[in-house]
């Protein structure tokens, strides 16, 4: 899964309008998220519709509450391990919201400026699938090579960068297993 002009070559592309240019071009942080729409539902095209501003508020009562939300992520990893890319890594996806990161001795805000956002289809309590871990490891390995400023210690969760607002990917995400697979280069 090489990266070609900011796109994973074997990811399906669905371009989101919710992106813009990175102010400095820096890519040095990876933020992991989880998403399911409606909450707890792991099928359908609602996530793609949300990230492309086409979510119909009439389809489900939950959608009415998020109508007009303008968000995206660079990559979505579905339950079967399929990757859908919405924003090239060279651009700024709108995924982290109000957040901060301790970068050495200084705190940084506006994390979208320098981070990659990967969404895992899921919620915070349902275990993620083996296929998702394998796809996540493979994508992460590509990012670590292509963007050497992203190192294993610069991979974090939405919960850690926005702790008062977010808790994803939640306790269902097995960080130890992910890091073990990443360290072994498991594909």
- Entry pTM: 0.96
Domains of the chain, with CATH numbers? 3-184 (3.40.80.10)
Among this protein's residues, is 24 annotated catalytic? Answer: no
What burial letters (b/e) apply to 25-48, b meaning 16+ CB within 10 Å? eebbbbbbbbbbbeeeebeeebbb
Q: Catalytic: which of 9, 119, 121, 124?
A: 119
Residue 134, pLDDT > 80, answer yes
For residue range 65-96, list pLDDT tens digits in order. Answer: 998 999 999 999 999 999 999 999 999 999 99
């Amino acid at each position: 899964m090489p990266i070609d002009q900011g796109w994973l070559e074997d990811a399906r592309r669905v371009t989101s309008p919710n992106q813009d240019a990175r102010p400095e071009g820096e890519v040095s942080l990876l933020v992991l998220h989880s998403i399911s729409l409606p909450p707890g539902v792991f099928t359908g095209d609602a996530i793609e519709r949300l990230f492309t501003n086409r979510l119909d508020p009439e389809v489900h009562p939950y959608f009415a509450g998020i109508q007009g939300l303008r968000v995206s992520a660079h990559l979505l990893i579905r339950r079967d391990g399929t990757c859908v890319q919405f924003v090239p890594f060279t651009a700024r996806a709108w995924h982290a919201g109000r957040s901060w990161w301790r970068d050495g001795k200084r705190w940084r805000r506006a994390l979208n400026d320098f981070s990659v956002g990967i969404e895992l289809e899921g919620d915070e309590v349902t275990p993620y699938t083996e296929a998702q871990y394998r796809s996540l490891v493979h994508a992460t390995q590509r990012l670590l090579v292509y963007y050497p400023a992203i190192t294993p210690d610069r991979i974090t969760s939405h919960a850690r960068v926005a702790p008062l607002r977010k808790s994803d990917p939640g306790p269902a995400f097995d960080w130890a297993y992910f890091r073990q697979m990443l360290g072994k280069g498991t594909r």
